[in-house]
Amino acid sequence: MLHTIRAIIDDDAKWRDILRGLNQHFRHQTVTGKEVQDFISSLAVVDLSKVFAQYLTTTKIPVFEYGWERSRGWTACHPVLPLGECGAGFDMPVRVNIPGLGTQLLHPTEAWQSLQVTSPRAAELSVDENFYVTQSRVP
């Protein structure tokens, strides 16, 4: 989970400051998980509450679903988590490698999205292994 959050932040200097800040801010204190989560979110300047909820309160790994329509030449990206698995508002970007398009940071939503792709190999999309998600190609 922490490595996924590091990949979401995508700034190693900021991530290092967050880790050092945790030690400095909470030194010799008894704290709750919520306090640590709020501290990380505030320094990251990203609301990570849904990410923490998913990875800390369930055993389900987020699923990044995508499809490919050769006739239209585009990839449709589904939410990282199906709505029934995590709930409304789950907001976690995912970095993917799309052959012919390169590395892209996608921001899945609760609805399917289209991404114009001209490469015939676009269906071979792969999720960056730094994001702890499962990928699933929908027929």
Kindly list the domain boundaries of the chain, sorted by start residue: 2-57, 63-138
Name which of 55-59, 80-84, 103-107 the model is least confident about.
80-84
Q: Are 86 and 59 within 8 A, CB to CB?
A: no
CATH T-level fold of 63-138: Immunoglobulin-like (2.60.40)
User: Residue 37 phi/psi, 5° resolution?
Assistant: -60, -45
Whole-angstrom distance, CA of residue 106 vs CA of residue 109: 9
pLDDT band at 34 (very low <50, low <70, confident <90, very high): very high
Region 88-100: mean pLDDT is 82
Between 5 and 122, the higher pLDDT residue: 5
**pLDDT at residue 84, as a whole number:** 44
**pLDDT at residue 82, as a whole number:** 47
Whole-angstrom distance, CA of residue 39 vs CA of residue 21: 9
Region 49-64: mean pLDDT is 87
